[in-house]
Chain A
């Protein structure tokens, strides 16, 4: 077999079980692809020795007949996940040199299932960004290229998206606080699902905004997303917000049959100035679902407009507190201090040189909105609007809507550096379609359904009912079948 790194999880799983290939072969294929792909900036800590050891162990398990779905499958891991003994920096200078003495619950579950870790993947610093340009490691680059510009793979899971799209792994983990799985998936022509808040344990994942963060898989298709999500999910007694619910066999739910399902099309997602190609993509997707037997209904989610401002109060507020622990005392980088400097100077210098500009900005905005006299005006008001945003979804689900179809992003991937001089709010608009889903705690999936006018991939988002990822994945599967998107980026790196 050639190009083993190009296999999907399901294909590789079946080949491993048949004995057509070994995990070591798969892993080596990925490692050599990684070696030639430094220009993409996807991997920031490569772990080839660990990968080969894990692959050998997986091969032994397969031989012994003990082979869970993911056994022997090489994955990339977002740098936000703490991996025992392996640098875990959240792409921040402030965590320079940090090697956790523990393994996150999600990666523990993946590795217990026999998955192989190829290395750590690039991302926006502390997952704050939509273009992977805030990383201390430098940019991750989109493998799609249509002119001489280098394009963003999106963010914050930009390295994950880039690595999956360029076949530098079979699949990757991502995390999503406001769209950080779905937006980069759409920008790179891959599939990414953010499950219901509480499905995946947050234990051992560096926190950005605790009430919004969820992990999820980034894969080459919907079936792979189903397989990998099942391994990532599950109740964790170490996370007080993790749901004590059984995890169904998601893959078994992929029948492609969506006859009689009701799909809502929210009118508020028709944004002013939205590119025609996005409108067309959305209309085409709607037709595909209709053709597959779904009932299409127009719906209203009246508070959509307020989702971004709500998000930009809640997420920075929680982040300002979550990131207070990076103080140079117990781990990570401590600034050199001057003569006569005390603890306060140590804190201020450490955090000034350890955090990048975007992180500093969000921490300070969060500090401001929580400060005396502003709490009610900003934070409490945002929590109330959040209640209303969630209620919008509850209302349409109560009316019988099974899933909601929206664009995943307001545009195709843009050029790295192009947003540099825009004010921060312009960049935040990237999350306009995805952020509502985090605020409402719902599952959302991004599926590539076509190429835009310039030849770049575009994705649609499906939003499901809470805890019904299986149903959502099946609808996404039907959309994927209908769209028949198979384009891959041409190798230039």
Chain B
């Protein structure tokens, strides 16, 4: 599997990372180096093998239904780059 610049562009877009056009070929090459390395996995016979769901299996922890958190608007907004009137403000989202 060889990654071309179009694929690199699409992946960068999916990851929401701006990559300038002239950087795409080098990025695609890096992907190819790494994916070439990963291709080794195709040698392994995985027929009938379960994919790992948990490396140290145990029962999923559960909580009781009760309000134990929240009421901390100041702390939630304390690190915000732009907070206004109790909201996080972001550049306009067009729906």
Residues of A within 8 A of B (CB): 97-101, 196-198, 211, 237, 240-244, 303, 305-306, 308-310, 312-313, 320, 324, 327-334, 337, 341-349, 351-352, 355, 360-361, 363-365, 367-369, 371, 378, 380-388, 390, 423-425, 428, 439-441, 466
A330 in contact with B50 (CB, 8 Å): no
Q: In chain B, residues 13-40, which have Cβ atoms closer than 8 Å to a Cβ of chain A?
A: 13-19, 27, 30-31, 33-35, 37-40
Taking A384-B52, A441-B56 as given, write out 6 further A-B residue pairs in contact, using a Cβ cutoff of 8 Å, ordered by the A residue number: A343-B92, A363-B15, A363-B17, A383-B53, A388-B46, A390-B52
> In whole angstroms, what is the CA distance A364 to B3 when docked?
12
> In whole angstroms, what is the CA distance A99 to B78 when docked?
9
B61 in contact with A237 (CB, 8 Å): yes
A378 in contact with B38 (CB, 8 Å): yes
Residue of B nearest to A100 (CB): B79
A383 in contact with B51 (CB, 8 Å): yes
User: How many interface contacts (CB-CB < 8 Å) are there between A and B?
Assistant: 171
B17, B40, B94: the one contacting A305 at CB < 8 Å is: B40
Closest 5 CB pairs of A and B: A441-B55, A383-B51, A331-B79, A348-B18, A334-B81
A contacts with B: majority SS: helix
Q: How many residues of B contact A (CB 8 A)?
A: 53
Residue of A nearest to B12 (CB): A364
> In whole angstroms, what is the CA distance A360 to B35 when docked?
15
- A328 → chain B, closest Cβ, in Å? 6
B49 in contact with A384 (CB, 8 Å): yes
Residue of B nearest to A425 (CB): B37
Q: Given the complex, which residues of A lie within 8 Å of B34, measured CB to CB? A: 312, 361, 365, 424-425
B55 in contact with A440 (CB, 8 Å): yes
B79 in contact with A330 (CB, 8 Å): yes
A313 in contact with B38 (CB, 8 Å): yes
Q: Given the complex, which residues of B lie within 8 Å of A381, measured CB to CB? A: 41-42, 44, 46
- B15 → chain A, closest Cβ, in Å? 4
B17 in contact with A383 (CB, 8 Å): no
B30 in contact with A361 (CB, 8 Å): yes
Q: Given the complex, which residues of B lie within 8 Å of A333, measured CB to CB? A: 81
Residues of B within 8 A of A (CB): 3, 7-8, 11-19, 27, 30-31, 33-35, 37-44, 46, 49-56, 58, 60-61, 63, 72, 75-76, 78-82, 88, 90-94
B33 in contact with A368 (CB, 8 Å): no
Q: Given the complex, which residues of B lie within 8 Å of A313, measured CB to CB? A: 38, 41
- B49 → chain A, closest Cβ, in Å? 4
B92 in contact with A342 (CB, 8 Å): yes
Residue of B nearest to A362 (CB): B34
Q: In this complex, which of A305, A327, A330, A383 has the most chain B Cβ atoms within 10 angstroms of its Cβ? A: A330
Q: Given the complex, which residues of A lie within 8 Å of B3, measured CB to CB? A: 368
A342 in contact with B79 (CB, 8 Å): no
Q: What are 20 A-B pairs with beta-carbon distances under 8 A?
A: A197-B55, A198-B56, A303-B44, A306-B40, A309-B40, A329-B88, A330-B80, A331-B80, A351-B15, A351-B17, A351-B18, A364-B12, A364-B31, A382-B38, A382-B41, A384-B52, A387-B50, A388-B46, A390-B52, A424-B34
A99 in contact with B79 (CB, 8 Å): yes
A371 in contact with B18 (CB, 8 Å): no
Q: Contacts A312-B37, A424-B30 known; A349 to B18 CB distance under 8 Å?
A: yes
- A147 → chain B, closest Cβ, in Å? 31
> In whole angstroms, what is the CA distance A242 to B61 when docked?
9
B38 in contact with A347 (CB, 8 Å): no
Q: Given the complex, which residues of B lie within 8 Å of A368, measured CB to CB? A: 3, 7, 11, 31, 35
Q: Given the complex, which residues of A lie within 8 Å of B63, measured CB to CB? A: 237
- B27 → chain A, closest Cβ, in Å? 7
A371 in contact with B14 (CB, 8 Å): yes
Q: Given the complex, which residues of A lie within 8 Å of B38, measured CB to CB? A: 309, 312-313, 369, 378, 382
> In whole angstroms, what is the CA distance A171 to B49 when docked?
42
> In whole angstroms, what is the CA distance A63 to B2 when docked?
67
A240 in contact with B60 (CB, 8 Å): yes
B56 in contact with A197 (CB, 8 Å): yes
A97, A242, A360: the one contacting B79 at CB < 8 Å is: A97
Q: Contacts A306-B41, A309-B41 known; A327 to B16 CB distance under 8 Å?
A: yes
- A351 → chain B, closest Cβ, in Å? 5
B30 in contact with A343 (CB, 8 Å): no
Q: In this complex, which of B3, B15, B50, B81 has the most chain A Cβ atoms within 10 angstroms of its Cβ? A: B15
- B39 → chain A, closest Cβ, in Å? 8
- A305 → chain B, closest Cβ, in Å? 7
> In whole angstroms, what is the CA distance A380 to B50 when docked?
9
Q: Contacts A98-B79, A334-B81, A352-B17 known; A364 to B52 CB distance under 8 Å?
A: no
Residue of A nearest to B13 (CB): A348
A342 in contact with B91 (CB, 8 Å): yes
> In whole angstroms, what is the CA distance A242 to B54 when docked?
12
> In whole angstroms, what is the CA distance A395 to B15 when docked?
39
Q: Contacts A347-B16, A384-B46, A425-B37 known; A243 to B93 CB distance under 8 Å?
A: no
> In whole angstroms, what is the CA distance A234 to B22 when docked?
50
B94 in contact with A342 (CB, 8 Å): yes
